[in-house]
Structure 1
Amino acid sequence: MRKEIFIASNYCEDLAKLYYEANFIVNAIVVYNSLNLRKYCRRVFIVKDCSSESLKKILLKFNPKKISFLLGSGFAEKFDDPNFFCNKYNFGNSIEVNNTIKSKDFFKILRKNKINFPQISFKNHKKNWIVKGQKSYGSLSVKKIKTLNYILKENEYSQRFMQGKVISVQFISENKKIKIISICEQINLKDEYTIDYLVTKDITNTYKNKIFKLIEKLTSIFDLNGLNSVELISEKKKYFLIEINSRPGLGINIVGKLNGGPFFSKKKKVLKKKILVTKIIYANKNLTINQRMIKFFKKFCDSKKFSELPNLGDIIKVNQPLCLIHISAENIELLKKEMSNTTQLIERIESMQNEK
């Protein structure tokens, strides 16, 4: 018998597909209703934002104490009522865990357990540091402010900006046991903190062991459950924890290809030789999605390679995500060529802005 799950996430297509292919009946609660989302869902509920009120309004039509659920991006950061659900049916982290990771206590716990992280301040902003929102997700609410007179708002903090290679680690945790699914290099745009793409990376066994021990320690400290990811940065051969994403993130498609689902599994769907990429395509100008664009998406944008494509009538502002592309190749040269060709393909829709 197929299990049923409610998934609430800012963007939901890759996550819905992951559970659909694991033989779940999926109900999605989303802010952005992508073109192909309904392929994987029994029901799709569209909400105006990721607030607790928006989520509760939908789920009170059912019995929130008896439904299986998973909070994805946006909702995991903002939903803060630990009594609304029954944690017995939670496929992710508890509300208490999410709340702790997005609070001041998070850094106190890291410091207590001697886990390195870039210096922070909740009182004063320092020149050339970045400003983050405690409840932010992705690169939202991250600002690089050069002036010293910036006054931190409530739920903001200042953090030393570090330059170095950023590593994103996707892993699954069940009953404090962990399985690392992928280790990716995170490539950022020229602003240095907005994500461009993730690419799977081969690393030394020594580094793998260090990462495994760190993930094991973090899982034990915070009681992590389900799909999670962490971001690390290296500086002078020392590694620092940037953040824990206590919910599925940008690497969902990579997790599905490597692990065959959202749970502990021995199944491998692609050869280890393959290099995998998930890239965010950002709009170069303001777009209103018209019928010509939709026809183009349906004809040229295969759902195996593209996800989170916009729907008819959607308004995409300049520099906002337009869609995701997912690419695999046997070597870096082929990967770069495929990534360039695919990016140029999707960017053709910008010439269709004034066409019907």
Structure 2
Amino acid sequence: MNSEALHTRRQHSGTAHAARPATPADAEGIVRLRSAFVLAEPLAKEWIVRSGAELAARLAPGGDARACVVDAPDGALASCALALLHPVLPEPASPTGRAARVHAVATHPSWRRRGYAGSVLTALLDRLRAERVSPVEADVSGASVALFRASGFCGSLAPMRMTWPEPPVRGRVDERTGHVWLPLEQYAETVMKATGFACLLFTDTSDRPVQLHGVYSATHPWQLVGGTMDPGERPWETAVRECREETGIELSGPPRLLATVYGLPGAEWPYSTMGLVFDGGRLDEGQIRNIVLDPREHDEVRVLPLPEWRPLMPPRDFARLGAVREARRTGVAAYFDTWDWGTE
């Protein structure tokens, strides 16, 4: 994402580099900074627009949002601090019955190490103090801890939080055992989620593995023929379809299972992965030469002795290939359960 996509031009004049109160015209710029540099996962364009429109209304007079910003020389936002107000019961610590939570303090990388984050946070806190908004809370972690402590925050910087994404679970209680039997739909939401795939091991007549070079994955450059199961497909049906789409080869079966593969979720993929690898058979030179690749997925077919694949593949991919080939040699299906995501 380029720097212009992260900024929204302000619609009024101001002194560059000095923190100032934000107006509704700054809303989308604030949302973009928060999306890019605060949230764990940036917002999609649709949500940036929706959130920006919501924040603009809440920054207007009478709204419950308070923000301060620093303008960059080009008129974009260099830094911002945003808080949202909420009502609480009046008490000595909150005499006006209004509290606030800081939702974002963000500075574009081009304008960091100039003290802007401290300036906007200080200006925001001054506004809240002038309005007698108290207490002010924030969820803070990492490098931001020092900034908030320097601004006067103390105590736990990661308050406990309860959310209610779904209605409280209600189920049938077994009076004898005390076990709660959930409705089917609710129980289904509690079980592990996994994606399924099906692949094929092809070799040439000398038992050298045949693999395809993927154009879309730097992590898994060389791949067995196969892919992710579509809804309603059985594993062998997936293997047959993917083989046809990726190579032009039509398989008739019967299926011969070589390996079961399992991987834990990780940074690259949020679900567990479970798959089956079938024996695609041995291809002669003519069949290999006649393979038709889908250029959107693969750009090369290569046939190599097993040891020569090692330097071309991540260790876990090579280990899986070795286990699958050994299963064909011995006739004993392999169980390979360390094909985890994001471990290399």
Is the structural similarity TM-score above 0.5? Answer: no
State the TM-score, normalized to the length of structure 2: 0.20
Higher relative contact order (Cα pairs below 8 Å, separated by 6+ residues): 1
- Which protein shows a greater Rg? 2
